[in-house]
């Protein structure tokens, strides 16, 4: 996804007026091309000079996520802030993928599923990724010189999003999500979607390890 235009954009952060309600919407990460207006829930797609409204985002279903937009933390010595969320749904449940903007202007993902947390970063695969239809659970594949094993393959629908994201994520966005793991808590995910195939590599993390602040206040906890 890191096209030349995106890299050039990575140097700037911009404010736009929501074409729908006039509220000011910030794109903090230069990689972001999509944002949900926090006031009117309009879905905005950024072009070079302006933003386009592509519809209205549905209200996100309530969950017990401890995170919110603005939550800050640390990972491998770098600070990050959560700037967007993708709420994913499949037949046996759902999970959140939070887009994290790091202080070196890179972005990564903090995913939470079944009470586990993992941090991963999009990377360009060294060799072409296997086609979606060829992958099977328990199959081994090589990623970056590491042996990974396919843990599961899920057909996913986006249940909604908020904040800003590096790709358009309207509710109903379909994708196939393939989770892989390797020794030492290493994790990889391949997402096959209409707008492209994304490979992310990272690892499972402990909640306390992330040294989080500005967490969501959960009633009674």
Partner 1 sequence: MDGEQPSTAQPQPQSRLVQTFACPNCGAPVTIRASGHTVVVTCRGCQSLIDVATPNHQIVSRYVSRRKFEPLIPLGSRGELFGNPYEVIGFMVRSDTESEFRWQEYLLFNPYHGFRWLAVANGHWNFLTMIKEQPSGASDGDVRYDGKNFALYFRGRAQVDYVFGEFYWRVRANDVVKVADHIAPPQILSVELDQGERVWSLGQYVEPDVVRGAFKVETPFPVKVGVAPNQPSPYPRIGGPFFFFVALLLAIQVLTDAFAGKEPVYQSGFEYARTAPDKVKVTPPFELKGRASDVEVVSVAPVNNHWLELRMSLIETNTGKTVSFEQGVEFYSGSDSDGAWSEGKHRHRILLSSVPAGTYYLTITPQGSTDTSYSVAVRRDVPAWSNFWIALTLLTLPAMLVGLLRYNFETRRWADSEFSPYQSSSEEEE
Q: Which residues bind partner 1 (CB under 8 A)?
A: 61-66, 68, 70-71, 89, 91-94, 96, 114-117, 137-138, 151-152, 181, 183-185, 187, 204, 206-208, 212-221
Looking at the Cβ atoms of 13 and 65, the one nearer to partner 1 is 65
Min. distance of Cβ 199 from partner 1 in angstroms? 19
Residue with Cβ nearer partner 1 (145 or 184)? 184
In sequence order, which ranges of 23-90 are alpha helices (DSSP H)? none
Neighbouring C-beta atoms of residue 98, cutoff 10 Å = 25
In sequence order, which ranges of 102-203 are alpha helices (DSSP H)? none
Rounded Cα gap, residues 89 and 144, in angstroms: 29
Residue 8 beta carbon to partner 1: minimum distance, rounded to whole angstroms: 32
Q: Which two tokens stand for residue 220?
A: 């009674």
Instruction: Please state the closest distance from residue 88 (CB atom) to partner 1, in A.
Output: 11
Task: Rank residues 27 and 67 by Cβ distance to partner 1 and give the closer one.
Answer: 67
User: In the complex with partner 1, which residue's Cβ is closer, 77 or 220?
Assistant: 220
Residues 6+ apart with CB under 8 A from 205: 75, 117, 118, 119
**Least distance from C-beta 4 to partner 1, angstroms?**
36
β-strand 196-205 against 116-123: which pairing, if any? antiparallel
CA 178 to mean position of chain CA atoms:
15
């Amino acid at each position: 996804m890191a096209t030349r235009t995106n890299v050039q954009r990575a140097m700037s952060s911009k404010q736009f007026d929501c074409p729908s309600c006039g509220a000011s919407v910030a794109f903090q990460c230069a990689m972001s091309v999509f944002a949900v207006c926090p006031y009117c829930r309009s879905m905005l797609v950024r072009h070079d000079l302006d933003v386009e409204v592509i519809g209205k985002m549905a209200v996100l279903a309530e969950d017990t996520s401890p995170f919110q937009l603005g939550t800050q933390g640390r990972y491998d010595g770098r600070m990050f802030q959560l700037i967007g969320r993708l709420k994913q749904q499949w037949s046996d449940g759902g999970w959140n993928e939070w887009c994290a903007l790091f202080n070196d202007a890179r972005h990564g993902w903090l995913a939470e599923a079944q009470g586990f947390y993992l941090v991963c970063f999009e990377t360009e695969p060294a060799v072409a990724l296997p086609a979606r239809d060829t992958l099977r659970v328990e199959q081994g594949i090589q990623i970056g010189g590491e042996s990974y094993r396919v843990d599961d393959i899920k057909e996913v629908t986006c249940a909604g999003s908020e904040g800003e994201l590096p790709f358009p994520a309207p509710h109903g966005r379909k994708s196939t999500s393939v989770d892989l793991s390797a020794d030492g808590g290493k994790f990889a995910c391949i997402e096959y979607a209409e707008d492209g195939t994304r490979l992310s590599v990272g690892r499972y993390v402990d909640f306390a390890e992330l040294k989080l602040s500005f967490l969501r206040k959960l009633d009674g906890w």
